[in-house]
């Protein structure tokens, strides 16, 4: 189990503290896994929307518009439901006119119209949308009431709808602002006094269930520090959680369908984790991951981060012997949540994992700067390289390159063009230090027929007019430690 990047046992301890504070509630332990639900505090937080604050006076004017819209909806003969009560609570009720409010808290109760059963069913059927056959049963059942509330909410984005349950949980002051008799089909007088909801008895409230504290269980002993670990990250996280909950290695291996040795070696590697240094973004990939490279290990590391044209990141971290440059294992993330260790020596698992996580952070921050482009970034860490800390410099923006790169690719791609031919045509800008190279390729590397050639200076001149000023702007960031490759494909011209 991982919570906010925490492994076990820290994740379980964090959840228990959140339960003590009323944010989550323990449900049950099912087949070794702890199940949690959100509690009252989280429900209220989820109902709070982050919008620009506004004067209470403005909120009260919106309440008048809400009542007017309720009257209009209740006059509609095609509706099967009626709005019977509207309560106002929160800062718009209790604040002064010049105070600021975050939203307009209202409780709306809806009731069926009093008409013949067949007529009511006909009205309900008519209210369903054309896509009704694709809607879940419970959603269809509630559609008439839900659509009425949606219409009311369209009055203003400042409106926050609540159930009467919220008033009884909070015991907050409230006032009725509208009342309607669904049986008489008429608006009726209501009590304008501010009242306070009666708190539910403590036993009936949504109090968080706090599980008993877990005993700290030592990780298995790491007998062979070079023992390889090959395991999916999802299975690894589940193995941590099951171990924390008292399961033995053999049972865990059977549950996650992995070799006993891989589970044992991975769990043993957890004992080598010391401290929780959070990654810090820097424009240079090597500075982002640098603090997580173990200097005492005489190994080389190659980190490759890719952000594809759809913005999906992937990360590869491979470990090599220092002199022979033989790959002894690594880790790959195919996206932000799915990763896999492949043959990583157990003692290196925490380091590889942290490098990969820092790389994912870098990719996440770079993704908005690569829209429609493919970015490949490579860092080779030699054990003799000086370790460099992140400087917190802003991300490089590669987006200005997209248009001139596509124009150059279009100019180099001969006509006539075959259908689906575009994915084999690629234009790439390679940047290392302040030196750049522009190349055009046809086919797939290491496959028969593959051709790659540098683009002539005269043809690349329009792209250079955009690229060269960017290189000058980024000169302090391009120091040769990180190599970048930015590319577009012919398929982008076919869209």
The secondary structure of 387-453 as a DSSP string is: P-----PPPP--GGGHHHHHHHHHHHSPSS--TT-GGGEEEEEEEETTEEEEEEEES-TTSTT-EEE
Q: Is 88 exposed, middle or buried (0-12, 13-18, 19+ CB in 10 A)?
A: buried
User: Cβ atoms within 10 A of the Cβ of 120, count?
Assistant: 16
d(CA 75, CA 78): 9
Q: Find out whether the peptide bond into 416 is cis, omega within 30 degrees of 0.
A: yes
**Phi, psi at residue 353, to the nearest 5°?**
-65, -40
- Structure token digits, residue 306: 């890719």
- Structure token digits, residue 343: 């043959």
At residue 108, the 3 state secondary structure works out as strand
Which residue has tokens 């390289």? Answer: 385
Count of residues for the chain? 495
At residue 186, the 3 state secondary structure works out as strand
- Structure token digits, residue 380: 């080779």
Sign, CA dihedral 444-446-448-454, equals positive
**Phi, psi at residue 387, to the nearest 5°?**
-80, 130
User: Cβ atoms within 10 A of the Cβ of 80, count?
Assistant: 22
Cβ 440 vs Cβ 413: under 8 Å: no
Nearest to 320, CA basis, from 340, 343, 339: 343
pLDDT at 202: 44
Q: Distance of CA 189 to CAs 82, 84, 170, 224, Å? A: 16, 12, 26, 80
In sequence order, what are the residues at sequence separation of 6 or more whose Cβ sits closer than 8 angstroms to the Cβ of residue 212? none
Cβ 384 vs Cβ 300: under 8 Å: no
Cβ 328 vs Cβ 390: under 8 Å: no
Cα atoms found within 13 Å of the Cα of residue 321, Cβ hemisphere only: 6
Backbone angle region of 367, left / alpha / beta, with phi > 0 → left and psi within -120 to 50 → alpha = alpha
Q: Is 355 exposed, middle or buried (0-12, 13-18, 19+ CB in 10 A)?
A: buried
pLDDT at 192: 86
pLDDT at 29: 87
Cβ 301 vs Cβ 355: under 8 Å: yes
**Phi, psi at residue 127, to the nearest 5°?**
-80, -20
d(CA 373, CA 388): 28
In sequence order, what are the residues at sequence separation of 6 or more whose Cβ sits closer than 8 angstroms to the Cβ of residue 117? none
What DSSP state is assigned to residue 6? B
**Phi, psi at residue 452, to the nearest 5°?**
-140, 130
Cβ 74 vs Cβ 180: under 8 Å: yes
In sequence order, what are the residues at sequence separation of 6 or more whose Cβ sits closer than 8 angstroms to the Cβ of residue 339? 232, 233, 315, 331, 332, 333, 356
**Phi, psi at residue 239, to the nearest 5°?**
-60, -40
Nearest to 155, CA basis, from 68, 47, 48: 68
The strand ranges marked E within 272-415 are 299-307, 313-321, 327-333, 339-345, 374-381
Q: Find out whether the peptide bond into 453 is cis, omega within 30 degrees of 0.
A: no
Low-confidence ranges of the chain (pLDDT < 50): 202-205
State pTM to two decimals: 0.69
């Amino acid at each position: 189990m991982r919570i906010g990047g925490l492994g076990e046992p820290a994740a379980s301890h964090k959840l228990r503290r959140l339960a003590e504070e009323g944010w989550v509630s323990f449900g049950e332990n099912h087949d070794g896994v702890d199940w949690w639900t959100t509690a009252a505090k989280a429900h209220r937080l989820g109902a709070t929307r982050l919008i620009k604050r506004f004067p209470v006076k403005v909120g009260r004017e919106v309440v008048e518009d809400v009542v007017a819209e309720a009257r209009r909806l209740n006059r509609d003969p095609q509706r099967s439901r009626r709005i019977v009560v509207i309560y106002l609570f929160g800062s718009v009720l209790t604040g002064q006119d010049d105070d600021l409010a975050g939203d307009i808290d209202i409780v709306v109760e809806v009731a069926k119209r009093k008409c013949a059963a067949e007529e009511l069913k006909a009205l309900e059927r008519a209210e369903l949308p054309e896509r009704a056959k694709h809607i879940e049963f419970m959603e269809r059942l509630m559609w008439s009431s839900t659509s009425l509330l949606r219409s009311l909410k369209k009055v203003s984005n400042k409106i926050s709808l609540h159930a009467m349950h919220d008033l009884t949980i909070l015991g907050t002051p409230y006032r009725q602002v509208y009342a309607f008799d669904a049986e008489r089909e008429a608006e009726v007088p209501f009590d304008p006094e501010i009242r306070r909801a009666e708190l539910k008895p403590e036993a009936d409230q949504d109090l968080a269930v706090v599980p008993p504290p877990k005993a700290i269980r030592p990780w298995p002993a790491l007998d062979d520090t070079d023992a390889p670990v090959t395991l999916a990250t999802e299975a690894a996280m589940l193995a941590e959680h099951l171990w924390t909950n008292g399961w033995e290695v053999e049972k865990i291996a059977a549950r996650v369908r992995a070799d006993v040795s891989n589970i044992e070696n991975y769990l043993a590697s957890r004992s080598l984790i010391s401290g929780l240094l959070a990654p810090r973004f820097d424009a240079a990939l090597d500075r982002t991951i640098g603090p997580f490279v173990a200097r005492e290990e005489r190994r080389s590391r190659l980190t490759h981060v890719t952000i594809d044209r759809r913005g999906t990141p992937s990360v590869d971290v491979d470990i090599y012997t220092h002199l022979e440059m033989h790959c002894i294992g690594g880790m790959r993330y195919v996206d932000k949540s799915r990763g896999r260790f492949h043959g990583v020596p157990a003692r290196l698992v925490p380091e590889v994992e942290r490098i990969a996580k820092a790389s994912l952070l870098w990719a996440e921050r770079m993704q908005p700067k690569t829209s429609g482009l493919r970015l490949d970034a490579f860092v080779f860490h030699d054990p003799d390289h000086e370790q460099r800390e992140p400087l917190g410099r802003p991300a490089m923006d590669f987006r200005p390159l997209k248009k001139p790169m596509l124009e150059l690719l279009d100019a180099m791609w001969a006509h006539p063009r075959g259908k689906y031919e575009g994915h084999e045509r690629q234009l790439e800008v390679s940047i290392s230090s302040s030196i750049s190279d522009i190349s055009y390729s046809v086919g797939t590397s290491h496959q028969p027929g593959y051709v790659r050639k540098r683009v002539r200076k005269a043809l690349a001149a329009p792209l250079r007019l955009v690229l060269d000023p960017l290189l000058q702007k980024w000169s302090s960031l391009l120091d040769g430690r990180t190599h970048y490759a930015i590319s577009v494909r012919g398929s982008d011209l076919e869209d």
